[in-house]
Structure 1
């Protein structure tokens, strides 16, 4: 009997302790507990991994148009995953090889303004690596091109390719 009485007293004491702790936390046994904290915010976009730029560029003039096309597509698709223009420029620099990488390092060491925006970097790439005689070569091709014995589709393709290199 005495053991039961002691158990009852222990339970009463525990209940009083719980009730006292609940009241000091701002609610009673009859009130609702405080609301749950809101869920953590969604991860910030710039902390999400972004795919690497799919093309590399080594400074070969004939490869520059394709590289710029790939860059443009990548930047349009993943623009919101970059925090700044400088971060985009650094990402572009990471896919340069050979002579193009050497040129980029020189710009970086000289702290040239071309490293502040993608547009300026692309303009610099064009000025440095684009075939300066491309327009003249295209004009010459347009003046001398002949269909000959090949299919018209091949002739038209060569004609359009040359015409696309001449600015309006």
Structure 2
């Protein structure tokens, strides 16, 4: 059984797709009313499921005439996408964000399913017997190395 967050995510993604990937402007309170949930539930869905590493840019304006704008970001090509993901990776990265980056690469056909599975296999926190900050730093170094390798593979 799906939970309310899954249903809201599905609705928002379908709405974006139906709009021809034009920016989607929503009022948090209206969406909450539609799904009979609290507005903070809408915030949660947007903050966790519409992130840059998943291919979305979110803008918001607070106040009476406020809105949340969700934009589907499409890279120009695979090299551009790899550069974006390297930038997002930074010096530290948690497992969830790393996995989201890899899944986005797969969804954009920048890596094969096999490559994605190999990359995912080395992102698992149980492989790093270290403090969280050090573990996230090691994970980031490994992910950036893989992304750089993919980038140069594209140039060949």
Q: Rg: which structure is higher?
A: 1
Normalised to the residue count of structure 1, the TM-score between the two structures is 0.32
Normalised to the residue count of structure 2, the TM-score between the two structures is 0.33
